[in-house]
């Protein structure tokens, strides 16, 4: 059910991190323009706070946000790879010093799937399986253990997007609020880290059902390539992240 765009980008990308520090008159290094929509969302603040973006993510997120619209807000964008120093994949080589076009080059039809059967039909039956191998799960959990705040940190809220029966968080990890957003209620009920959940098809309605500045961390792992309205979803993620919030995608 992956989109045609996802099929084009099917090569595996390394886990990477991008730090985007933005303010109302910043010049942009790698990303020529932030989204005009983000400017409207944050226009009431004099400074748009730092946000951290990880995974398929850093360069791809940068491309989406810079080309979705032109705007006056800029920021510095740095990419750090989890790959060993000195090693780089062909994809990383291609993404070095890319000059993104000013306008988003993809049309709505570019995100059509080869199978346009409504997603709820596919996700109607629960699937209690994992979608990445054990080594990938171990690496992801280890990474979470390094970047997540300690368990039971006061005031911390986490959103696990495209969630299921398992989130691959560190064993025993707990916060007062860990929300799962997914497609199958039975799977979400089984997830032991969640304190609450919501069922929503983001390909039909990308508007996230949360207030502005609600979450310290958003995870969206092994699912971002299934989104048919990724720009809308990314803008929503920016809206609901707290200042200084962390978004992790793969």
List domains and CATH numbers for the chain: 4-249 (3.40.50)
Instruction: Choose from 24-38, 67-81, 194-208 the range with maximum mean pLDDT.
Output: 194-208
Whether pLDDT at 200 is above 80: yes
Q: How far is CA 106 from CA 1, 71, 136, 157, 234, in A?
A: 19, 19, 31, 34, 16
**Phi then psi dihedrals of residue 55, to 5 deg:** 100, -155
The residue to which tokens 């010049």 are assigned: 27
SS (H, E, C) the chain: CCEHHHHHCCCCCCCEEEEEEEECCCCCCCCCCCCHHHHHHHCCCCCCCCEEEECCCHHHHHHHHHHCCCCCCEEEEEEEECCCCCCCCHHHHHHCCCCCCCCCCCCHHHHCECCCCCHHHHCCCCCCCCCCCHHHHHHHHHHHHHHCCCCCCCCCEEEEEEECCCCCCCCCCCCCEEEEEECCHHHHHHCCCCCEEEECCCCCCCCCCCCCCCEEEEEECCCHHHCCCHHHHHHHHHHHEEEEEEEEEC
Which whole number is the average pLDDT over 52-61? Answer: 45
For residue 85, what pLDDT band results from cuts at 50, 70 and 90?
A: low
Which whole number is the average pLDDT over 114-130? Answer: 91
Which whole number is the average pLDDT over 42-49? Answer: 39
pLDDT in tens, 142-192: 999 999 999 999 999 999 999 999 999 999 999 999 999 999 999 999 999
Whether pLDDT at 96 is above 50: yes
pLDDT at 158: 98
For residue 40, what pLDDT band results from cuts at 50, 70 and 90?
A: very low
Q: Which of 239, 242, 238 is nearest to 53 (CA)?
A: 238
């Amino acid at each position: 059910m992956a989109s045609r765009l996802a099929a084009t980008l099917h090569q595996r990308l390394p886990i990477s991190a991008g730090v985007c520090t933005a303010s109302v008159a910043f010049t942009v290094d790698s990303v020529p323009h932030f989204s005009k929509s983000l400017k409207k969302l944050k226009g009431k603040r004099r400074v748009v706070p730092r946000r951290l973006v990880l995974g398929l993510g850093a360069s791809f997120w940068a491309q989406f946000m810079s080309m979705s619209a032109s705007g006056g807000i800029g920021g510095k964008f740095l990419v750090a790879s989890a790959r060993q120093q000195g090693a780089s994949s062909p994809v990383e080589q291609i993404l070095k010093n890319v000059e993104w076009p000013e306008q988003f080059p993809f049309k709505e039809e570019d995100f059509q799937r080869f199978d346009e059967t409504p997603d709820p039909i596919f996700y109607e039956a629960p699937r209690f399986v994992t979608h990445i191998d054990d080594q990938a799960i171990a690496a992801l959990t280890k990474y979470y253990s390094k970047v997540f705040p300690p368990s039971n940190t006061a005031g911390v809220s986490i959103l696990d997007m495209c969630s299921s029966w398992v989130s691959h968080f560190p064993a025993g990890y707990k916060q007062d609020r860990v929300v799962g957003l997914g497609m199958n209620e039975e799977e979400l009920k089984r997830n032991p880290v969640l304190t609450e959940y919501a069922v929503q098809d983001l390909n039909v309605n990308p508007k996230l059902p949360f207030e502005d500045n609600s979450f310290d961390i958003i995870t969206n792992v092994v699912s971002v390539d299934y989104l048919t309205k990724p720009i809308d979803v990314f803008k929503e993620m920016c809206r609901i992240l707290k200042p200084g919030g962390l978004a992790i995608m793969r």
